[in-house]
Amino acid sequence: MSHDLYGEILLDHYRLPRNHGRLENPTITVEGTNPLCGDELTLDLEFTGDHLTNISFSGRGCAISVAATSMLTELLKGKTIHEIEEWTGNFRTFIREGKAPDGVDMGDIQSLAGVAQLPVRVKCATLPWTTLEQGLVRYKGT
Ligand code: ZN
């Protein structure tokens, strides 16, 4: 696939972010910031048992952080906490190495591969994942 296509997927998530807005009754609301870029993110998480049954996001951020968050919500909505932790590991490998772990299909997230080569942008793409991790820690502590 060409870089142009990756760019289109990224821009599509930026222009039409999935799961954008607020939930009425979130189980956990968690905020994250990336001071290097000025990204501010709020995640509303709704858990049922060990499933993330709903997720939405709001805030302001650059194209990469908004697109990365949109992709995360699309991928993880409905997943179990265990699956989310596995995907978090996959994403960290992906953003560190610029390619998916063997045998893993990153889906739209693959469009962020170029970001892995831009150290100042890595934190933009990682922000939703670190923010979600904080939310998981809080949920497990409740
Ligand atoms: Zn950013």
E strand residue ranges, 1-140: 28-34, 39-48, 51-60
Domain count for the chain: 1
pLDDT of residue 1 exceeding 60, the answer is no
9 backbone dihedrals φ, ψ, rounded to 5°: -65, -45
User: Among 46-50, 79-83, 118-122, which stretch is predicted with the lowest mean pLDDT?
Assistant: 118-122
Percent of the chain's residues with pLDDT above 90 = 89
Q: Could you give the CA distance from residue 140 to residue 89 in angstroms, rounded to a whole number?
A: 18
Confidence of residue 2 (pLDDT cuts 50, 70, 90): very low
Average pLDDT over residues 10-29: 97
Average pLDDT over residues 79-108: 96
pLDDT of residue 3 exceeding 70, the answer is no
Rounded to the nearest angstrom, the distance between the alpha carbon of 5 and the centre of ligand 1 is 21
Q: Which domain holds residue 76?
A: 3-140
Q: pLDDT digit string (tens) for 31-47?
A: 999 999 999 999 999 99
Q: Could you give the CA distance from residue 68 to residue 126 in angstroms, rounded to a whole number?
A: 8
The HSE-up count of residue 94 (CA atoms within 13 Å, CB side) is 25
Q: What is the CATH number of the domain that holds 48?
A: 3.90.1010.10
**34 contacts 26 by C-beta, under 8 angstroms:** no
Rounded to the nearest angstrom, the distance between the alpha carbon of 36 and the centre of ligand 1 is 8
Instruction: Using alpha carbons, list the distances in angstroms from residue 58 to 13, 37, 66.
Output: 14, 16, 9
Q: Could you give the CA distance from residue 116 to residue 100 in angstroms, rounded to a whole number?
A: 11
**138 contacts 48 by C-beta, under 8 angstroms:** no
Rounded to the nearest angstrom, the distance between the alpha carbon of 137 and the centre of ligand 1 is 24
Q: Which residues surround ligand 1, an ion (CB under 5 A)?
A: 37, 39, 62, 65, 124
pLDDT of residue 120 exceeding 90, the answer is no
Rounded to the nearest angstrom, the distance between the alpha carbon of 64 and the centre of ligand 1 is 6
**106 contacts 100 by C-beta, under 8 angstroms:** yes
